[in-house]
Structure 1
């Protein structure tokens, strides 16, 4: 992956003067008042990207972030894209990367077909629809898309066919995502905007480290399929199925635990370009891991509904959601069980096309009784976030 990116960057540097080349990105600063136990990113069990010292404590945290990407189109039917992230995290961050690659892919396309190869986001999210997989609606993403940002990003090839303005179908073959489900099973659903980078190690509360995107573990392809029905600029409905087809093992493989994870996503959006937008997604699936003498399967489920109103330079958005996990065998004492809900309200002010200021409140209710004794099962909490973002 690094060699591929270096070749792409060299090609851009030597030909950008004569070709279509666009550089885009943003820098942001956030002040977050958090009431929650230490974050999962600190090796704790808190559901946010930041946390306080204890479950009953609160803290003011400063965060800085930058995302930069480029699009190079040397020919009308060929595009190369890459983007990455640089960030300053809260002290105590376990594992992780301050600078990392998020996407790197090439497209070959015409009016009806598009073939994409590399590492890329699947086009499922109805809230992360702005460039660089960001949201125009909220600062904190839903539980569904927070997890997608951490553990679901194919490294492979995607073929998309659009026979008309109203129908799009796509299929993806991918590798390098065999640990998908590790974070979700280890610490449950979380809320934030952390984009895991390629070959990055992230913590679980055991404590262990997992690498969501990197070397393939079993030499098998995972697959994804999707169908989208659209009324251009008015509404869309999409159904997606994803299965990493990982081969579970009673022992670690290349120092990682393979998790066989499969799930479906149904996404809906109404008023795509109107002042009032309503969007939602529902995800349901399971993830399975092996251990000496058997295996463990966890079911998971989450859904959110988002409404947004845009007027002049102001945007007001609200989101409600629920989330759950449970042991698929339904034992009397279910250590994997969690049921919770969350509410998020946000105001965005666009000073000009390049500047955005935002204020957001997010509250999560939910416990995880099956955490190890060293962790407090009260994993909910709240954040108040003020953000300024400058785009280029």
Structure 2
């Protein structure tokens, strides 16, 4: 993130705090303050290669071998005033021995009015936020209540698909028209996400529980094309996921139907509307577009079903418009989860790929893989959970030959976690 970008974001954070302070001085109802968080400590073992966090091509956030980590220390400060206004600031910290850090992951102001007599409600948010996509990461500080590691799709969102923008949702609430069906339409306009797609291209899909912090940049695996005589020689060693280079506004739309006490279905389209002719300080602008669908449903015997699918493309060119990296991609998962008494068991299966369409030498981004996650959770008391999890990823990635690794690789991970929500 450039100095200008940081200044702009600080102004946004200041506006969140200023709106809150102003509300206290106005003749509105008393301001409510809520602090919540999560402390997630883990012991684990990975049978893998070097983590993508250290510039490798391993699929997990942990390096090969055993580790003890503070996998998430998340803190959410939420204020409410009046019937409609609120703000939220979320910070996360990680101590994993690879990429320790502390910083902001979300910061926004929200206006959510009272429904009209016909059940129409307006919901507006402004600030640093995730696009409204994930059906998996619904717990405190964007954690998942089902598994320790996110799906590959939501891991990518956590890593480089966030933005500073304006999100407007119009809801139609069925209870006001004697119906069990709710409908909503969300339109988002955003900036500060011009490199989205770079990390997906150069290390592929991963599984993680780590969200990129605002001030962080992400290491790129060194490949021959990035050597001084390669086509990617001008690319910086790290990608900055929250930079603004082309001053263009992207868009995201999502339509959602909810059948109360049954489930929900949603579909959306994302386009960062990037100008790929721009490169500044080793950061190229990437045009990234994708569609996504998802469903969350309650099955018989109290089994919850969650599934999401994403398909799209990402393009990076040189300043003459010649394609340098041109990829298609997809990722999808199906997850079932059953909770009873103090127990929860979750099972998730995934399929993912990247298809390299360009002819850039020594930069093969092709990838194909499948993943399985099995998680068991035991609730010690209301806020405290012990969780065991097993992940296995079977993937083929030709770029591993650049690091003298096997193109076909099966990676496994075992974890035991203590998660305390407050």
Q: TM-score, normalised by structure 2?
A: 0.85
**Matching residue of 1:219:** 247
Unaligned runs of 5+ in 2: 1-8, 116-120, 175-181, 224-236
1:285 matched to 2:312? The reply is: yes
Distance in 2, matches of 1:272 and 1:10, equals 45
The structural deviation recorded for 1:3 is 4.0
Secondary structure of 2:157's aligned partner:
helix
Listed one character per residue, the Cα deviations across residues 6-47 of structure 1 (whole Å, up to 9, x for unaligned) are 554477589599511100001111011100001000111101
1:85 matched to 2:92? The reply is: yes
1:228 matched to 2:256? The reply is: yes
User: For this pair of structures, how many residues does the alignment match?
Assistant: 380
Which of these two proteins has the greater Rg computed from alpha carbons?
A: 2
1:42 matched to 2:54? The reply is: yes
Distance in 2, matches of 1:330 and 1:254, equals 24
Distance in 2, matches of 1:203 and 1:380, equals 23
Listed one character per residue, the Cα deviations across residues 361-387 of structure 1 (whole Å, up to 9, x for unaligned) are 000000211346235234540100100
**Matching residue of 1:374:** 403
Distance in 2, matches of 1:329 and 1:90, equals 36
Change in CA separation of 1:123 and 1:378 when aligned onto 2, cut-off 3 Å: same
In the alignment, is the contact (CA less than 8 A) between 1:81 and 1:105 conserved in 2?
A: yes
**Alignment equivalent of 1:63, drawn from 61, 69, 79:** 69
Distance in 2, matches of 1:173 and 1:271, equals 32
1:19 matched to 2:31? The reply is: yes
Secondary structure of 1:68's aligned partner:
strand
Structure with greater proportional helix content: 2
Distance in 2, matches of 1:352 and 1:273, equals 26
Distance in 1, matches of 2:238 and 2:404, equals 17
The structural deviation recorded for 1:154 is 2.4
Change in CA separation of 1:386 and 1:370 when aligned onto 2, cut-off 3 Å: same
**Alignment equivalent of 1:244, drawn from 269, 272, 293:** 272
Change in CA separation of 1:154 and 1:232 when aligned onto 2, cut-off 3 Å: farther
In the alignment, is the contact (CA less than 8 A) between 1:206 and 1:372 conserved in 2?
A: no
Listed one character per residue, the Cα deviations across residues 156-195 of structure 1 (whole Å, up to 9, x for unaligned) are 1010001234211000000000100010001110011110
**Matching residue of 1:323:** 352
In the alignment, is the contact (CA less than 8 A) between 1:281 and 1:305 conserved in 2?
A: yes
Secondary structure of 1:370's aligned partner:
helix
The structural deviation recorded for 1:131 is 2.5
In the alignment, is the contact (CA less than 8 A) between 1:278 and 1:306 conserved in 2?
A: yes
The structural deviation recorded for 1:390 is 1.3
**After TM superposition, where is structure 1 displaced by more than 6 Å over at least 4 residues in a row?**
330-334
Distance in 2, matches of 1:301 and 1:117, equals 29
The structural deviation recorded for 1:124 is 1.4
**Alignment equivalent of 1:109, drawn from 105, 109, 112:** 112
1:144 matched to 2:153? The reply is: yes
**Alignment equivalent of 1:199, drawn from 215, 219, 237:** 215
Secondary structure of 1:162's aligned partner:
strand
Secondary structure of 1:37's aligned partner:
coil
Distance in 1, matches of 2:319 and 2:20, equals 49
Q: TM-score, normalised by structure 1?
A: 0.91
Distance in 2, matches of 1:383 and 1:219, equals 41
Distance in 2, matches of 1:168 and 1:224, equals 14
Unaligned runs of 5+ in 1: 53-58
In the alignment, is the contact (CA less than 8 A) between 1:355 and 1:390 conserved in 2?
A: yes
